[in-house]
Structure 1
Amino acid sequence: MALLDGIEAGAEDSYDRRYGDRQLLRRITPYFRGRGGAVAFVTAAVVVAAAAGSAVPILLARTVDSALDDDARSVMTLLAVAVLLTGAAAWLFTVLQQRLTGALVGDAVLKLREDAFAAAVRQDLAFHDGHPTGLVVSRVTNDTQTFGALLSLVLSLFGQVLVVLLILTALFVINVPLALLTTAVVALIVAVSLAFRKRARTASTRQQQALAEVSGYVQETLRGITVARNHRGEAAAEAGLREVNGRWYQASVRLNRLFSGIFPLLISLTGLGTTAVVLVGGHNVASGDLSAGEWVLFLEALALFWSPVAAIASFWQQLQQGLSAGERIFALIDREPAVRQSAQLPPPRLRGALELRGVSFHYTPERPVLHDIDLTVAAGETLALVGHTGAGKSSLVRLLTRSYDFQEGTLLADGRDVRTFDLAQYRRCLGVVTQTPFLFSGTVADNIALGRPGADRAAVEAAAHAVASGAWLRQLPEGLDTPTDEGGRNLSTGQRQIVALARVFLQDAPIFILDEATASVDPLTEAQIQEGLDALAAGRTTIVVAHRLPTVRKADRIVVVDDGRLVEQGDHATLMRRGGAYSRLYRQYFHHQHPDHDPADEPSGTERAAVGAGVHPAEASDAVDH
């Protein structure tokens, strides 16, 4: 499968970058703006719950001392009631905090996912050509969910850490040496966890990337399931899944090994710390330097200390996965499209005159595609681009639509540099129909209406009837209300083309670009499409990448593209008489498509004589010209 080519387990995408924890904190903070009241309440609830939670062990310690003191037995009942009340307060405010935290985090994830999706949508075609869709989808869906879980976890741990700080303060008031011993043990555990952090982040990132590869592979395979079945490729597809799934498995095993090593170490440190406090505290009780209740407080405090530390250890994997997910999300959001505009001026209503001056383009520096292109298209002119597969026709169209950015030269629309226009508004001036149009889930009418958002039903119906007089609608079971599956799979290729034409007709753009739209349809559908093209091209600048003779011959001008260069221009008859590159293309690709005799299609007497002598007609023509 294509997705497997060049992908290694845990391979980073070209736009990935590293973010520090503080950077991630600064990036996520704006997603809570406008919810200041809720954030303040959550903070207050955390503080109250932490204060109540830290008061419980202190009250328990006083209760123990009261139970041992015959003179303070009357206070014990009050202390017991106080323990129950503070415990209930801690529980209540913890519940309130968790519920509101869920709403806050949900809102943040909602906005974050919207931003990630918007970033994916605004990327140029080079980005989507170079990165499998499934990998991008994984960032928008899986990674935002994982990062949201991290936010909930951090808020939960914040409350537990606050409890630790409050109790630690009380311990220093009671017994400084024992408090220092407890603090040293906790500091050692935290230091070990932080030392482990970098390796854990790297391993977690690789696992997330491997999971994205699995998601991308499954999506690609299911979209191409028809091809796989037709060529009996199910076994190969399953083998491919085993390969990418194996990469995820290896990344998960490596991550698990890391965490399986750190957990026993943290638990051992916890046990050693508890033992040290028990021994030192017991000695202090025996010597009278510490009361039994205060010793109980230290032991209870240790249990509370280990709770957040154990939580950090237990959720360390989730913590690191959340951080790596945040990196992947913000790397997508921060990725700048390769197509850059020098200004954002709103384009006027274009007449449709286009001009390329010295335009050169490559996908990669070692792969030049177009070389020093000079081309002028008059407003209202129909221009056909012809040439062998890979000659550069579609690449030229991609430059006109600003799907890719050229490296050299200038592209003008009505005499103005298109790089000064607002890109979205400029693209609305272009009506584009590709070889395989994509239809969204909905109805035929919904897909036509995309040409002009907000258009009413009457406008949609008018656009539909403008293509082949609407005769194609009778072939649809419910006419304009016929449902469309994802991609328009329930419609034929020709029907999708006609819907796309109607969509562009409704758009009413001054420039119309057709990229091989009739290359794979039946003659009847081609006739309907051609009728639609004729209606659409009237009064508009039309650029057609064509492999069909009827489309080519109706063009005002034909441009032959060969190896990234414009080698010939002219109308059909003139180019045929010239006997050059177009004439050769015609005899190779077009001649069989038109059974009617056309004297312009016949070689000249010089060309016939040259063929009889074994000389190429183009060479004979060149000899005559000289």
Structure 2
Amino acid sequence: MSLEKEKESAGEIIDFKVLRQLYGFVQPYRFQFYSLVFLTIALAVLAPMRPYFIQIAIDEHVALGDMSGLINIVYLLIGLMILQAVVQWAHTYYSGWIGQVIIKDIRVKLYKHLLKLRLKFFDNTPIGRLVTRNISDIETLADVFSEGLAAIIGDLLQIITILGVMFYIDWKLTLVSLSTLPLMIISTYVFKEKIKVTFNDVRNAVSNLNSFLQEHITGMNIVQIFNREKREFEKFKEINREHRTAHIRSVLYYSVYFPVAEIIQAIGIGLVVWYGAVGVLGMELQIGILISFIMYLQLFFRPIRMIADRFNTLQMGVVSSSRIFKLLASSEHIANEGSFKPEKIHGNIRLENVWFAYTEEEYVLKNINFEVQKGQTIALVGATGAGKSSIINLISRFYEINKGQILIDGTDIREFELGILRKHIGVVLQDVFLFSNSIYYNITLGNPNITREQVMEAAELVGARKFIERLPGGLDYNVMERGSTLSVGQRQLISFVRAMVYNPEILILDEATSSVDTETEELIQESIEKMMKGRTSIVIAHRLSTIQKADQIIVLHKGEIVETGTHDSLLEKGGYYTQLHQMQLKTMAI
């Protein structure tokens, strides 16, 4: 799959629809959320109290030589600072706690949603992008609560409270103090707009990096086989350069904005000192008020400086939320409409007028009709792309048919509960996927109801017991990522054990011996026959010699059934199957 670059606009600063969806995840934690709101209001109220007490201490106690009153004010200030520190701690803890529990819930919901999506969705979506949604985008949501929404509300409340107190104390000095506010607002707005675009470029670059790395590390053998290391390295350098450039651009904006904000604040304080000093000298203003206004200005401009950054944090959180909710809203899931949950099935399978297309109107299966009775073995043969694997994918409902019907024991498979349907079907694929875990885990997939004895019995049946016992640790041997420490044949044998340990009534083998050498194939062929005994079996075989004993062979060509019959009867016809057989004989002779 080629790397698909992701370009998504930053969107609006606040998308209330997305925020409402986020609030839905807050509902289970309403008490903690409203506690956070209360703490935010408390911090806004406490912020201007320290300058106010200092003003009183200077004008009403220091100026009058009232030592006892001054001591009382000092005690009040100490108590206020302790209270403010406790409230600040609780506010920081609750905002972080709420952020983490909510992203945990969202991540669980998102992964559960992914588990239900059709394989078609994964065919069309880069895995790196899904990783970005599950990790990077969700992590960004935590900042919405700890650095974004709660912090912005707190900052706005603090600004409003401080302004109210300043106007109450001296409205003229307040207007002088705010004379530089338009400059601060303009510089903050420009910074916000610039950094918003930059942050979005960074997010897109991270997504592209994830996609590129996932694809190329997974496909490293192809890169090396075709001597593409240098070319792919140059591609990676280019993507990484874009990521670096976006980050450096954000650093540049920060390096310009904060010094500018400091200069504007210093000008404002200078004007206050000049105007206030004139008032103090003229006996029109108390010195305590002047000192408190200098402190108020510092408290006032600090949230204004930070609010642009916090708005961008909130905005990027909203963008990430929008992406996540868009994925959650995806309708590419298998509708688990059925409620039929039989304990056992007989295994009769019938396909009636089945049509299927991966993309609209490009049918890979056309009017497929056949039936398999309980205990029978049928084989599907045909050239690559004939539609063999598509049929078994439809029987297991990995994809949904476009037209027609598939029945098991006379019941449409869409009436089965999906989990129950797949429980009764054992599938062995050509490409075996093993997790980085023990052999025991890869066979049972964490099912606690399957014992080690059952695993070893199944391993004995398919001829895998000896090689498992020779490995260090036996069933506890870690196969590493994708089973890299095992041979192709050993991985295939483990997939046989995995299918058999669940004791399915229907067995599907998709080119199950194509990756096994001839000697190993001969050793396990008898075991495969034991696996099929008493079960309805559908076999896709690359080597026609392995399906000669099948009860029925269905020959597919370009999505249509062209011939059916036994091995001998099809050879007598001298049709398409005979051509395939002769071509394979020539290949073996070479």
Aligning the two structures, in what range does the TM-score lie when normalised by the shorter sequence?
Answer: 0.7 to 0.9
Distance in 1 (CA, whole Å) between partners of 2:571 and 2:523 is: 28
Residues 1:147 and 2:130 aligned together: no
Paired residues of 2:428 and 2:509 also in contact (CA < 8 A): yes
Pairing 1:61-140 to 2, within 5 Å after superposition? 61-66=55-60, 69-70=63-64, 75-140=69-134
Distance in 2 (CA, whole Å) between partners of 1:95 and 1:102 is: 11
Structure 1 counterpart of 2:480, which letter? D
Look up the SS of the partner of 1:359 in the other structure.
Answer: strand
Paired residues of 1:120 and 1:136 also in contact (CA < 8 A): no
Match of 2:532 in 1: 537
Residues 1:357 and 2:341 aligned together: no
Q: Structure 1's 191 and 23: CA in aligned 2 closer, same or farther, altered over 3 A?
A: farther
Residues 1:58 and 2:59 aligned together: no
Deviation, structure 1 residue 55: 1.0
Residues 1:11 and 2:7 aligned together: yes
Paired residues of 2:7 and 2:204 also in contact (CA < 8 A): yes
Q: Structure 1's 551 and 20: CA in aligned 2 closer, same or farther, altered over 3 A?
A: farther
Match of 2:493 in 1: 498
- Tell me which of the two structures has the higher relative contact order, counting C-alpha pairs closer than 8 angstroms and 6 or more residues apart: 2
Paired residues of 2:14 and 2:315 also in contact (CA < 8 A): no
Paired residues of 2:348 and 2:374 also in contact (CA < 8 A): yes
Look up the SS of the partner of 2:561 in the other structure.
Answer: strand
Paired residues of 2:200 and 2:316 also in contact (CA < 8 A): yes
Look up the SS of the partner of 1:349 in the other structure.
Answer: coil
Deviates more, 1:124-133 or 1:150-159: 150-159
TM-score (norm 2): 0.88
Task: Select the residue among 294, 299, 312 that pairs with 1:299.
Answer: 294
Distance in 1 (CA, whole Å) between partners of 2:589 and 2:347 is: 31
Match of 2:505 in 1: 510
Distance in 2 (CA, whole Å) between partners of 1:259 and 1:375 is: 68
How high is the sequence identity, in percent, across the aligned residues? Answer: 29
Match of 2:330 in 1: 335
Distance in 2 (CA, whole Å) between partners of 1:141 and 1:281 is: 53
Look up the SS of the partner of 2:47 in the other structure.
Answer: helix
Q: Deviation string for 1:75-125 (max 9, x for gaps)?
A: 333323322321222123212332344333332332222223222332221
Look up the SS of the partner of 1:326 in the other structure.
Answer: helix
Q: Which runs of 5+ in 1 are unaligned?
A: 596-626
Q: Deviation string for 1:529-587 (max 9, x for gaps)?
A: 42332122222221122101233212211111111211111111111111111111111
Q: Deviation string for 1:344-399 (max 9, x for gaps)?
A: 54356332222333322222236432223233333332121111112222222222
Deviation, structure 1 residue 430: 1.8
Paired residues of 1:38 and 1:100 also in contact (CA < 8 A): yes
Paired residues of 1:124 and 1:403 also in contact (CA < 8 A): yes
Match of 1:25 in 2: 19
Look up the SS of the partner of 2:501 in the other structure.
Answer: helix
Match of 1:622 in 2: none
Distance in 2 (CA, whole Å) between partners of 1:17 and 1:265 is: 27
Q: Deviation string for 1:482-540 (max 9, x for gaps)?
A: 22112111111111111111111111222222111111211222124423321222222
Deviation, structure 1 residue 217: 1.9
Question: CA RMSD for the aligned pairs?
Answer: 3.5
Structure 1 counterpart of 2:46, which letter? A
Match of 1:612 in 2: none
Deviation, structure 1 residue 150: 3.3
Distance in 2 (CA, whole Å) between partners of 1:345 and 1:573 is: 40
TM-score (norm 1): 0.83
Pairing 1:443-522 to 2, within 5 Å after superposition? 443-450=438-445, 452-468=447-463, 470-522=465-517
Deviates more, 1:380-389 or 1:68-77: 68-77
Q: Structure 1's 416 and 273: CA in aligned 2 closer, same or farther, altered over 3 A?
A: farther
Structure 2 counterpart of 1:571, which letter? T
Paired residues of 2:377 and 2:538 also in contact (CA < 8 A): yes
Look up the SS of the partner of 1:484 in the other structure.
Answer: coil
Q: Structure 1's 577 and 40: CA in aligned 2 closer, same or farther, altered over 3 A?
A: same
Look up the SS of the partner of 2:380 in the other structure.
Answer: strand
Pairing 1:163-202 to 2, within 5 Å after superposition? 163-176=158-171, 201=196
Deviation, structure 1 residue 272: 6.5
Paired residues of 2:469 and 2:475 also in contact (CA < 8 A): no
Residues 1:547 and 2:533 aligned together: no
Q: Which runs of 5+ in 2 are unaligned?
A: none
Q: Structure 1's 287 and 200: CA in aligned 2 closer, same or farther, altered over 3 A?
A: same
Distance in 1 (CA, whole Å) between partners of 2:392 and 2:120 is: 14
Pairing 1:214-225 to 2, within 5 Å after superposition? 214-225=209-220
Distance in 1 (CA, whole Å) between partners of 2:555 and 2:515 is: 21
Residues 1:237 and 2:221 aligned together: no
How many pairs are equivalent? 589
Q: Deviation string for 1:455-495 (max 9, x for gaps)?
A: 12222222221212734435534432322112111111111
Match of 1:309 in 2: 304
Match of 2:390 in 1: 395
Distance in 1 (CA, whole Å) between partners of 2:478 and 2:192 is: 52
Task: Select the residue among 581, 586, 591 that pairs with 2:581.
Answer: 586
Structure 1 counterpart of 2:531, which letter? L
Q: Structure 1's 190 and 423: CA in aligned 2 closer, same or farther, altered over 3 A?
A: farther
Paired residues of 2:337 and 2:417 also in contact (CA < 8 A): no
Q: Deviation string for 1:135-177 (max 9, x for gaps)?
A: 2112212222222233211334544443333323323433456
Deviation, structure 1 residue 421: 2.8
Look up the SS of the partner of 2:426 in the other structure.
Answer: strand
Q: Structure 1's 573 and 83: CA in aligned 2 closer, same or farther, altered over 3 A?
A: same
